[in-house]
């Protein structure tokens, strides 16, 4: 029997073995496999080798490419049929692998079928059940699976129409196994090469993204680099970037695509593909736009533009799609899974860059708006940080201090600025407003800074802390408001008042003098003449006091009144005022109440008298129906309290503090029922505060008022 077998193996494909022919076939196949030629080329060589080894009538070789594309080679079948058969057989082998536990251990096993469509004993049962569906020609078949190192089936060699395997002989079967093994190695090598190619491409794309997209902050530059990348990295014929704006989708950059197409794409984007991208959140790929597209109008516009393939990758930031990156090809361009991933990786990098540029742009816009506001401010602004380093000085500030831009206030210290203000004539005490950042960190400082150079200028300066959102001090801002004009007009007003008062006082003093001379003359006059002379005396007194008030206010600088202080007994003074005003109104009764023993005070008695007279006169004036006016003097703790109570018209609470303001009157109506100019209480306040005391009022409208003031008591 062995002799018989050996004889049968002598011919190729026939019963006789020709070892030289088989070796040559294997060698040629090996050469082709390692040549790096296109896969279809070397699969044809493998097919030829299989034919030489087995002498089969039908040979089919198939291998899956790295992206699972199945490539077949068979000279015996039309391409469609061979692709169909190859796909089905691969499927059959894979199903068999899944359902057979022995799959792994039978790595190099050949599957033999005596008659591909008939059940025979001893054949692989599973395969026998699966293969008949393929309707192979009814003759013996041999299937050599191409099994990769990881056990996966990556292809197969089918030989059909041979003698039975018993006739084929062991050596030929071994040779077929070697061929299968050799082919598998080549496929794996090819896959590895493809993977490393893809990896390199991805690295290249990332390097491109890092090189071109990481550095620029300008949106336009980034978008330009992106459309350029479409050419460089993906070999595209055109590219465009669409960004979602409030008014819809807008093309922000493009290359190689007509305006008309982009406009229609914007419309299409606003209408449909935005939603599609939103639902897929991944790239959308149209392999051939002549058969597949978003819709008919998309297909038509692609046709007009001459675009055949297109990939659209969403630009995503924090899970929100804010744009799309479109890559166009003018011919059908298959994209592998890896390439799609590549496009996505690149676009992810681009999305970060675009988002960053948008933030930068928005920040720049805010900054320039802020700068415009600060630069056009009519106040001078100086901002310094916690270290006292000036970080901002607006043009108005330079102007106020007569500095040109070369003075470079920014980066200098606030201490230096205080010194600079002094060289411009500001007093040391006024420049205390330029405080060191950490001294009294939260206090608001206020000062009037008077500059003498380059011209006389009065600045109202307010220095206030600047806090961040978490309420930490981050620096201080100083506002300089020019009050030179107000000061000037105030000075003119004061000079006028002073001049007017002098001019009025002289004739009034004469009138009063003459009236008194006439009254004192020992001549008998009719009663009516005497009353007239007395009225002249009283009214000129009133006018003189009013003039005195006006002069006091106009002379009073910074609210302080010059005083001639002496230690004095306040009781005697109050008593004399009560005596003096007691008889002035027949309908009022002015009384004095003294509580406790009253200590002495250090006061200007003339000024203190003015205060008391003013309060008692007001009490009489604003109690038009008459009544009691109670003047009290009491010993408080460390101070002497004076108060004047009336039961007159009263003052609403909202006006309690305002009655002490300059020229403030409750009844500002034209009727001016009570007369006066609203200076009395203001002067009282100036005098009391100049003594280091305080003044206040409590009142109930319609019931009366209590005006009080307190002066520090002298320590005995
Ligand atoms: P004048 O009395 O000249 O108007 P004052 O400064 O003395 O000015 O008073 C300011 C305003 O305060 C008055 O116009 C008046 O409306 C109110 N006022 C002052 N004293 C009294 C008082 N005893 N009772 C009610 N209102 C008063």
How many whole angstroms separate alpha carbon 63 and alpha carbon 82? 12
Least confident range from 196-200, 298-302, 375-379, 624-628: namely 196-200
Domains of the chain in start order, with CATH, are 19-194 (3.30.450.40), 215-363 (3.30.450.40), 378-481 (3.30.450.20), 488-555 (1.10.287.130), 561-712 (3.30.565.10)
Indicate whether residue 648 lines ligand 1 (CB < 6 A): yes
Indicate whether residue 704 lines ligand 1 (CB < 6 A): no
Are 337 and 369 a contacting pair, CB within 8 Å? no
How many whole angstroms separate alpha carbon 23 and alpha carbon 179? 10
pLDDT of residue 10: 41
Q: What is the pLDDT of residues 37-55, one digit of tens each?
A: 777 788 888 999 998 888 8
User: Cα(682) to centroid of ligand 1, in Å?
Assistant: 10
User: Cα(491) to centroid of ligand 1, in Å?
Assistant: 27
pLDDT band at 280, cuts 50/70/90? confident
Indicate whether residue 619 lines ligand 1 (CB < 6 A): yes
Indicate whether residue 182 lines ligand 1 (CB < 6 A): no
Q: Which residue CA neighbors atom 3 of ligand 1 most closely? A: 676
Max mean pLDDT among 277-291, 337-351, 469-483 falls in: 469-483
User: What average pLDDT score do residues 11-34 get?
Assistant: 72
pLDDT of residue 7: 40
What sign has the CA pseudo-torsion 568, 570, 575, 576?
positive
pLDDT band at 160, cuts 50/70/90? confident
Burial of 423 (0-12, 13-18, 19+ CB in 10 A): exposed
Indicate whether residue 651 lines ligand 1 (CB < 6 A): yes
Indicate whether residue 677 lines ligand 1 (CB < 6 A): yes
β 248-255/284-286 pair status: unpaired
The pTM of the full predicted model, rounded to 2 decimals, is 0.48
Indicate whether residue 622 lines ligand 1 (CB < 6 A): yes
User: What average pLDDT score do residues 57-62 get?
Assistant: 89
Buried-exposed string 365-396: b where 16+ CB fall within 10 A, e elsewhere: eeeeeeeeebeeeebbbbbbbeebebebbbeb
Of 679, 459, 692, residue with least CA distance to 556: 679
Q: What is the pLDDT of residues 63-106, one digit of tens each?
A: 987 666 788 988 888 888 888 888 888 887 887 777 665 544 45
Identify the residue whose tokens are 């503090």.
Answer: 657
pLDDT over threshold 70, residue 373: yes
Indicate whether residue 705 lines ligand 1 (CB < 6 A): yes
CA angle 216, 224, 321 (to 5 degrees): 85
Residue 198's SS3 state is helix
User: Cα(510) to centroid of ligand 1, in Å?
Assistant: 30
Indicate whether residue 627 lines ligand 1 (CB < 6 A): no
Are 627 and 648 a contacting pair, CB within 8 Å? yes
Indicate whether residue 643 lines ligand 1 (CB < 6 A): no
pLDDT over threshold 80, residue 436: yes
pLDDT of residue 128: 62
Are 60 and 72 a contacting pair, CB within 8 Å? yes
Task: Name the residue of 625, 659, 672, 700 whose CB sits within 8 Å of the most ligand 1 atoms, as the mutation to test its pocket.
Answer: 659
User: Cα(251) to centroid of ligand 1, in Å?
Assistant: 73
Atom of ligand 1 nearest to the CA of 683: 6
pLDDT over threshold 90, residue 262: yes
pLDDT of residue 40: 78
Atom of ligand 1 nearest to the CA of 650: 25
Task: Name the residue of 644, 681, 702 whose CB sits within 8 Å of the most ligand 1 atoms, as the mutation to test its pocket.
Answer: 681
Between 4 and 687, residue with greater pLDDT: 687
pLDDT of residue 319: 84
Are 716 and 602 a contacting pair, CB within 8 Å? no
How many whole angstroms separate alpha carbon 230 and alpha carbon 260? 20
Task: Name the residue of 590, 649, 666, 688 whose CB sits within 8 Å of the most ligand 1 atoms, as the mutation to test its pocket.
Answer: 666
Mean of per-residue pLDDT scores for the chain: 84
User: What average pLDDT score do residues 358-365 get?
Assistant: 87
């Amino acid at each position: 029997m062995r002799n018989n077998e050996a004889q049968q193996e002598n011919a190729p494909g026939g019963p006789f073995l020709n070892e030289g022919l088989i070796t040559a076939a294997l060698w040629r196949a090996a050469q082709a496999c390692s040549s790096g030629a296109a896969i279809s080329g070397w699969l044809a060589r493998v097919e030829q080798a299989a034919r030489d080894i087995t002498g089969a009538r039908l040979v089919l070789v198939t291998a899956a490419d790295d992206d699972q594309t199945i490539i077949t080679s068979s000279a015996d079948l039309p391409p469609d049929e061979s692709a169909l058969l190859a796909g089905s057989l691969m499927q059959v082998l894979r199903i068999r692998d899944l359902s057979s536990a022995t799959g792994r251990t039978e790595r190099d096993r050949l599957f033999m079928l005596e008659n591909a469509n008939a059940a025979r004993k001893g054949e692989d049962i599973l395969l026998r059940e699966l293969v008949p569906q393929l309707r192979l020609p009814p003759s013996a078949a041999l299937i050599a699976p191409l099994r990769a190192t990881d056990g996966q089936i990556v292809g197969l060699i089918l030989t059909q129409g041979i003698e039975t395997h018993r006739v084929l002989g062991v050596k030929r079967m071994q040779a077929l196994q070697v061929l299968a093994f050799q082919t598998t190695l080549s496929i794996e090598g090819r896959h590895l090469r493809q993977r490393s190619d893809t990896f390199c491409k991805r690295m290249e794309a990332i390097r491109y993204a890092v090189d071109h997209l990481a550095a620029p902050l300008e949106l336009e530059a980034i978008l330009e680099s992106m459309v350029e990348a479409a050419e460089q990295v993906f070999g595209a014929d055109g590219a465009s970037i669409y960004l979602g704006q409030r008014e819809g989708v807008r093309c922000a950059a493009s290359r190689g695509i007509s305006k008309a197409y982009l406009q229609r794409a914007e419309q299409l984007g606003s209408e449909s593909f935005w939603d599609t991208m939103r639902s897929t959140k991944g790239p959308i790929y149209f392999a051939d736009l002549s058969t597949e597209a978003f819709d008919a109008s998309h297909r038509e516009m692609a046709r007009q533009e001459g675009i055949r393939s297109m990939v659209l990758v969403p630009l995503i930031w924090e899970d929100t799609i804010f744009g799309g990156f479109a890559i166009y090809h003018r011919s059908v361009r298959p994209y592998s899974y890896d390439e799609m991933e590549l496009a996505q990786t690149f676009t992810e990098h681009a999305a970060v860059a675009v988002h960053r540029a948008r933030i930068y742009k928005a920040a720049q816009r805010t900054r320039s708006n802020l700068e415009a506001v600060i630069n056009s401010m009519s106040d001078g602004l100086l901002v310094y940080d916690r270290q006292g380093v000036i970080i901002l000085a607006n043009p108005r500030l330079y102007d106020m201090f007569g500095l040109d831009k070369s003075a470079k206030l920014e980066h200098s210290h606030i201490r230096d600025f205080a010194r600079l203000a002094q060289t411009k004539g500001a007093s040391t005490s006024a420049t205390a407003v330029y405080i060191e950042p950490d001294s009294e960190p939260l206090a608001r400082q206020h000062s009037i800074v008077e500059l003498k150079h380059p011209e006389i200028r009065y600045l109202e300066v307010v220095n206030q802390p600047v806090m961040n959102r978490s309420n930490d001090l981050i620096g201080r801002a100083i506002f300089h408001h020019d009050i030179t004009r107000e000061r000037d007009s105030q000075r003119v007003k004061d000079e006028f008042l002073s001049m007017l008062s002098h001019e009025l006082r002289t004739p009034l003093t004469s009138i009063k003098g003459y009236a008194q001379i006439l009254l004192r003359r020992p001549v008998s006059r009719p009663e009516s003449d005497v009353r007239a002379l007395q009225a002249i005396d009283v009214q000129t007194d009133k006018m003189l006091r009013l003039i005195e008030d006006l002069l006091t206010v106009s002379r009073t600088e910074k609210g302080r009144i010059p005083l001639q202080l002496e230690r004095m007994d306040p009781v005697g003074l109050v008593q004399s005022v009560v005596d003096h005003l007691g008889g002035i109104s027949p309908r009022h009764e002015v009384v004095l109440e003294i509580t406790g023993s009253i200590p002495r005070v250090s006061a200007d008695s003339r000024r203190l008298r003015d205060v008391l007279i003013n309060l008692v006169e007001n009490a009489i004036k604003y109690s038009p129906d008459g009544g009691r006016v109670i003047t009290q003097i009491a010993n408080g703790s460390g101070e002497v309290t004076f108060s004047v109570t009336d039961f007159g018209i009263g003052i609403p609470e909202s006006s309690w503090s305002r009655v002490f303001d300059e020229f403030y009157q409750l009844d500002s109506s034209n009727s001016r029922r009570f007369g006066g100019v609203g200076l009395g209480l203001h002067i009282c306040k100036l005098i009391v505060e100049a003594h280091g005391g305080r003044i206040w009022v409590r009142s109930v409208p319609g019931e009366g008022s209590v005006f009080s003031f307190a002066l520090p008591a002298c320590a005995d």
